[in-house]
Amino acid sequence: MTRENQIATWLNNSLKNQEYTINPASSDASFRRYFRIISNNQSYILMDAPPDKENSKPFVDIANILFKAGLNVPKIHEADLKEGFLLLSDLGNKTYLEELNHENASTLYKDAYLALIKIQKNADTSSLKHYDDSLLMQELQLFPDWYLKFHKSYEMNDSEKNILNLTFELLIKNIRSHTEVFVHRDFHSRNLMFCDGEHGKNPGILDFQDAVKGSIVYDLVSLFKDAYITWEEEQVIDWLIRYWELAKKNGFKVQEDFAEFYRDFEWMGVQRHLKVLGIFARLNYRDHKTNYLNDLPAVENYLRRACERYRELHPLLKMINKLSLI
């Protein structure tokens, strides 16, 4: 039986043989596919996650955690983890990326960082995997393994390998000191839905299945240093200060000096952007998802600007500047 036939059979059973229409809704950087189902004047999203490639249980578990914490996440109407099918409520078709502009950005980002405060304050982290040194290093290794090797066709010498390893250790040492909370891991404009009431409170939150317990600034990096949309640095700092003030009011353990908080934000950004460069290269060269190469320049720029600010990161900056000539 083809996957399409499996989908049809499962939907017929789940919808009790009511008539329905099915159309592609979106795809993501994984093997999951999403379809919009209309049946009996009700809209649903079908998640198709082939069980040999994707495990849907974390999505179900974390959806429940976030729902209990008061966030707007898809409701799970039906689930078949064995076959890899989920029937979800529809949060609409307007992503933050599509809706954001200079006129509404401050309003939409305020909704987003208020949602983040709610997640960090209320979401239960007891069952989450820890964003530990091993996972951080595994992610960092994507940079040499995919970005350097495949995208730049660059072979590091021993000195450069040593510089990279020392930089990785510095980053992880800094991150280890951060307050730990629920971390979505991809809290950005493609995974936040613009909801105007019909689909619940703004924002709707998607793609949370890889959540972990880790740094309080990680999701802020994903949000404000987004690979898919960029803002002036002064604006980002303004939004970040507003979050920082709210975090203090809500009792989070963050630095009293904003400059120190901003340094942690920047260093966390270096870790994330090294990882993202590797992931985007892998998506292109392994998975043939070529569009992600278009987003490399923004990420490279974030990385370069952060490294320029901190003397400890200048050896990495020198390597990045050398790579920009290739």
Contact status, residue 137 vs residue 168, Cβ threshold 8 Å: yes
Question: CA–CA separation, 144 vs 275, rounded Å?
Answer: 10
Co-location of 136 and 274 in the same domain = yes
Question: CA–CA separation, 147 vs 322, rounded Å?
Answer: 14
Helices 314-323 and 296-309: crossing angle, nearest 10°? Answer: 150
| Percent of the residues in the chain that have a pLDDT greater than 70, as a whole number | 99
Co-location of 72 and 161 in the same domain = no
Co-location of 169 and 315 in the same domain = yes
In the numeric block, which tokens belong to residue 257? Answer: 């000096």
> Is 80 exceeded by the pLDDT of residue 67?
yes
The pLDDT of residue 325? 82
Structural domain span for residue 25: 3-89
Question: CA–CA separation, 314 vs 205, rounded Å?
Answer: 36
In the numeric block, which tokens belong to residue 303? Answer: 């990385």
Co-location of 191 and 232 in the same domain = yes
Q: Which of 48, 67, 89 is the last residue of a domain?
A: 89
pLDDT digits (tens, 9 = 90+) for 70-125: 999 999 999 999 999 999 999 999 999 999 999 999 999 999 999 999 999 999 99
Co-location of 120 and 144 in the same domain = yes
Co-location of 186 and 41 in the same domain = no
pLDDT digits (tens, 9 = 90+) for 20-55: 999 998 766 678 899 999 999 999 999 999 999 899
Question: CA–CA separation, 211 vs 214, rounded Å?
Answer: 9
In the numeric block, which tokens belong to residue 181? Answer: 């909370």
Query: Burial level of 290, CB count in 10 A (0-12/13-18/19+)?
Result: exposed
Bridge partners for 143 per DSSP: none
Closest by CA to 269, choosing from 306, 310, 232, is: 306
Q: Which of 89, 119, 150 is the last residue of a domain?
A: 89
Share the mean pLDDT of the chain: 96
pLDDT, mean of residues 274-291: 96
Domain at 249, CATH number = 3.90.1200.10
The pLDDT of residue 244? 98
Token look-up 């040194």 returns: 133
Which DSSP symbol is given to 31?
S
Co-location of 248 and 285 in the same domain = yes
Dihedral angle computed from the Cα positions of residues 48, 52, 57 and 60, in that order, rounded to the nearest 10 degrees: -10
Co-location of 266 and 198 in the same domain = yes
The pLDDT of residue 198? 75
The DSSP string of 265-298 is HHHHHHHHHHHHHHHHHHHHHTT--GGGGGGHHH
The pLDDT of residue 1? 80
Domain at 20, CATH number = 3.30.200.20
The pLDDT of residue 27? 66
The pLDDT of residue 196? 81
Lowest pLDDT segment from 93-97, 151-155, 194-198: 194-198
Tell me the backbone φ, ψ of residue 200, rounded to 5 degrees. 95, -170
Contact status, residue 66 vs residue 119, Cβ threshold 8 Å: yes
Question: CA–CA separation, 20 vs 38, rounded Å?
Answer: 5
In the numeric block, which tokens belong to residue 33? Answer: 């596919």
Q: Which of 89, 116, 141 is the last residue of a domain?
A: 89
The pLDDT of residue 167? 98
Phi-psi region of 70 (alpha: psi -120 to 50; beta: other; left: phi over 0): left
Split into its structural domains, the chain has a count of 2
Query: Burial level of 260, CB count in 10 A (0-12/13-18/19+)?
Result: exposed
Residue 107: CB atoms within 10 Å: 11
Co-location of 215 and 280 in the same domain = yes
